[in-house]
Amino acid sequence: MNDATSDVLLIDDPAPRIRRLTLNRPEKRNALNDALRGALFDALREADRSRDVSVIIIRGGGSCFSAGYDLGSPNHDVERSIAKADGWWSRHVVNNWLEMWDMATPIIGQVHGWCLAGGTELAAACDLVYVAEDAQIGYPPVRLMSPPDMQWQTWLMGLRRGMEALLTGDAMSGTDAVTAGMANRAFPVDDLDAAVLAVAERVAKVPPELLALNKRSAHRAMEAMGIRDGIRATADIQALGFHQPPSIEYLKSFAEKGVAAALSERDEQFNDYRESNPATGSTS
């Protein structure tokens, strides 16, 4: 077994040909700050280049997968350099979620607890997604900030379920995510580690050359239907959100009230997220 540890990402090989990456900011609900995003993509690229790795698993340490981008710290273009013109943020994060699709190695997302906003984008960029039955998956920023950076909702769940998610910002359970098409299967949270590892071991039995082709064929089929162009187009629409008066006032409130208070005020009228469980932290 090959084990490695950094401040924000844990790396291990729990079985032959399987590389597992564990987001390791549990005190921040694995909020995706510059350090974590940078470490994650460095590790993904290294694993994808390795001839000893056939499958990659991404999971979260602690109570959840990821509560989203870290709104309490500065964010930069850590994954791929991009000019900071209007809309740079959504374009650069979409670049890298699509980079995960383009990797030869299949990537499995293992989701438990909160999976919010940017956390859902990370999960959606994985090739397979397995969830805890009681996971909570949603995109609350649509309520006061903007549409999603990577609008996976309508592509993975269809127009009706995707539209409902975008118009309400409500969370769905892991069980509902499977029904909607966002995830493959749901398991009791205590069984999730073993279940995901069992799937990864089955995938790893296929020669890596064929895995790469099988993965690519699935993505090419979706691209023929326009998924890549569609997601890039909606990333540009996302940038318009920051120019709307409600979004401008909401972002100002981060400095005036603090991020945690602003998020609580947003969720109070819906009685969910921070207001149903204030432990979600200063994210999403």
Tens-place pLDDT, residues 86-114 = 988 999 999 999 999 999 999 999 999 99
Axis-axis angle for helices 227-241, 88-102 (nearest 10): 160
Q: What is the pLDDT of residues 187-199, one digit of tens each?
A: 999 999 999 999 9
Task: Give the Cα-Cα-Cα angle 104, 23, 68 (nearest 5 degrees).
Answer: 95
* 3-state per-residue secondary structure call for 47-72: HHHCCCCCEEEEEECCCCCECCEECC
Average pLDDT, integer, range 41-58: 98
**What's the mean pLDDT when you consider all of the chain?**
93
Average pLDDT, integer, range 157-180: 98
C-alpha–C-alpha distance, residues 130 and 196, integer Å: 7
The boundaries of the domain holding residue 106 are 3-280
C-alpha–C-alpha distance, residues 22 and 41, integer Å: 12
Contact 182, 164 (CB under 8 A): no
Average pLDDT, integer, range 275-284: 60
Q: 85: pLDDT confidence band, cut at 50, 70 and 90?
A: confident
Q: What share of the chain is helix, strand, coil (3-state, %, to 5)?
A: 50, 15, 30
Please state whether beta strands 3-5 and 55-60 pair in parallel, antiparallel, or not at all (unpaired): unpaired
Q: What is the pLDDT of residues 219-245, one digit of tens each?
A: 999 999 999 999 999 999 999 999 999
What CATH number has the domain bearing residue 254? 3.90.226.10
Contact 26, 14 (CB under 8 A): no
Q: What confidence score (pLDDT) does residue 5 get?
A: 56
Question: What is the domain count for the chain?
Answer: 1
Residue 278: is its pLDDT beyond 50? no
- In the numeric block, the tokens 């602690």 are attached to 62
